Structure 1
Amino acid sequence: MQSIGVGVGWNSNLICGDMSITTTLQNQLNGITNGFQTIMSNVIQNATSAVASLPALIIQRADPGLYNLLTNGILQARLDFDRSKMTCRAIANRMADMAGGQAGWDQLAEGMALRDAVSSTDAVSAIEQAESNKGNNGVPWVGGGNAGGSGQSSIKVVGDVTRAGYNLLNGRSITDTSSIARSACGNRLTCQTWSSPGAAAAFANRVLGEREQRTCENCTKTQTTPGVGLTPVIQEEYETKLQVLQELVTGTRPTPPANLDAAGSSLLPITRGVIEALRDEPDQDVLGKRLASEAALSSVLEKALLLQRTLLTGKKEPNVAANELAVRAVDLENSALEQEINNLNTELELRRTLAGNSAMAIIQRHSTRAAGSRGIFEGDTTRDRLRKSRSR
């Protein structure tokens, strides 16, 4: 699947900090914007050349009335600037509520920058410092470090939370990326299913996709990769298990426990007796494919349930749990995964219902007739097989 990015079109972080009071005053005094122009438009137009050429003190001495008008104009422009900036802030807050995650991550980055800036105890410089940061410092993320800023890794909601959950379930450091040996895994399902946090995250990204967030000034803000769901994974698992099962039945592969485990799943184990029964089965091909299909479905269902548990555990990582945006994003992915699991459950129930179809009814009626005529020799299922073979 190809990733889809949303760039500067959603670059809403600290947009109010781009407002310039100097430009506001200039436009007010030059009549480009309304405000002071509506009060003394004719006077301002005549005073523009004087403002450009005379210092304020000379203007005061030369024309006190003009100086008072200019002072009032600057005051009016300042009030308009503050009012416009407050309106911009209000619109940005509404945008964060309506537009979803992107604007929210930007506001979070602004809040983190302001938290660090207020240590100077100067209110004006703190606001200026926070606004000039432009979100380049990122936000706290999994493991305690910052992410999403300039020169930092992006915030990968699905992948990072899955890695954190994998490590937490295995009692390891949250930022550990190493693999877990099969001998050191024990009975933990997570490391039995995925050997490393990267493998777990790769499965999660394959099924659910990925949502990357950045807060830096000149970078792609939001980038998403759609997931394919569980159906393609089931198909791939089916083809793998069918091949293993066919090799076990034909004898090209031996039947130790490892090979039997590869053909089945924890919910639907394949034993040596099942293999022997298939070898003597006339409808070997049909029943073998059906068994492989059920084994693949149960195997993927196990992985999906385990992924759900991993995401729920990763959501409890302190930096994720303290971030409401991240919690909502993980809950949304969990809901999508739960829907996929419910679809699998429905498919499994349908398969069980369809198991009593016409083909099974024919086999059952044949068995009933055979049981009712035990005194009569039951012939071969293939008519005249011996005679045809002799004639050849």
Structure 2
Amino acid sequence: MSDFNFNENSTQFPSSQLPPPQLPVQPEISAQDYDQPGRSPRRRFGVVLVAAVFGLLGGIIGTYVAQEANLVDLNTSESITQITSAPVVVAEDDGSSGGSLIAQVAERLANSVVTISTTVSDDFGSGRGVGTGVVLTSDGEILTNAHVIEDASEVVVRFAGETEPRVAKVLASDLGNDLALIKVDATGLIAATFAKPGSVKVGDTVVAIGYALALDGGPTVTSGIVSALKRTIETDSGALNSLIQTDAAISSGNSGGPLVNLKGEVVGINTAVARGDSDSAANNIGFSISVDEVLIVIEQLREQANGVERKEGFLGVGLAARDDGGQGAIITNVQPGSPADKAGILIDDVVLAVDGEPIDGQAGLVAAIRDAEPGQTVKIEIFRDGERLVFEATLIARSE
């Protein structure tokens, strides 16, 4: 229905009630109007002939001009109204290459980012999960989050531009660090480039790439900055430390995808996002495992895939969070004979740092000791009785 409608109830005059057409009254013309005294009949005939000739020529010229201007269509009886308007302005190709830096980054990573689909079966049935992965090697190694492939009975991978998925094999997984290594049977893949450890700075522009919400088409590309470094969060599997905080949008399905700088280098692996609840609000707070941590864990995963058992470090202390607003973790218990006991750490000591890395809470200390190797000696900075002290502890392997 159009916006404007003809109203059938409006007042109209039926054709039978219209007044008859009135013809204009023509005045009576006498012979004297054309036969004036002093003008001969031959001259009057010549004037009429010349006027007729010019009238005919004018009609021919007018018809020709109308046809050329598309104002008259002689082949149809329908009237045509031509409306002209200004043309739409369209930018011309100036020959410049590429678009924005972010567009160039997305294009560079297009063939190094994959979508990962999993089948998970349990006592309640089976379900599907979706995540993202980063190509590590040309022969099929792919890095993703451990929680993406956790408990999966089947893992398949699909590359950009392909319609069919490829079956992937899980080589190794580290739930504590939330990273996993999978592999597809392929050659000639384009591996992503990782940034140099320590090169990431707060305020750097970064781009998150991943298959957010399993939406149709290619990966979702979002941008933001590095909001903070060395964040620690608690997860279902323990704690994650050395995280990059970013305001680039990260959603479900982004897990395992890359966080990259404007050079197209991977600076982190997207892993988590903070969500608000009834007591707190959280906006644009996402977390990525930093490249410093990622490169170390990749080698550990490769060793694990080759049959080397991964063992975590053990210090032998109980911990509590500070509730006075201060930094660090409080020692609540020291196991006799443990590395902590041998190093001279006491109850009520406050741990401020491990190997120079600040400890902001108990989760940070747990993650720092877990990531260290058994037999490794770590320097632990303690606050005790108003003094800062440094102790060295040689870790042992954590028992199951």
| TM-score interval, normalised by the smaller of the two chains | under 0.3
More relative contact order, 1 or 2 (CA 8 Å, 6+ apart): 1
Q: Tell me which protein shows more helix as a share of its residues.
A: 1
Task: Tell me the TM-score normalised to structure 1 length.
Answer: 0.24
Q: Tell me which protein shows more strand as a share of its residues.
A: 2
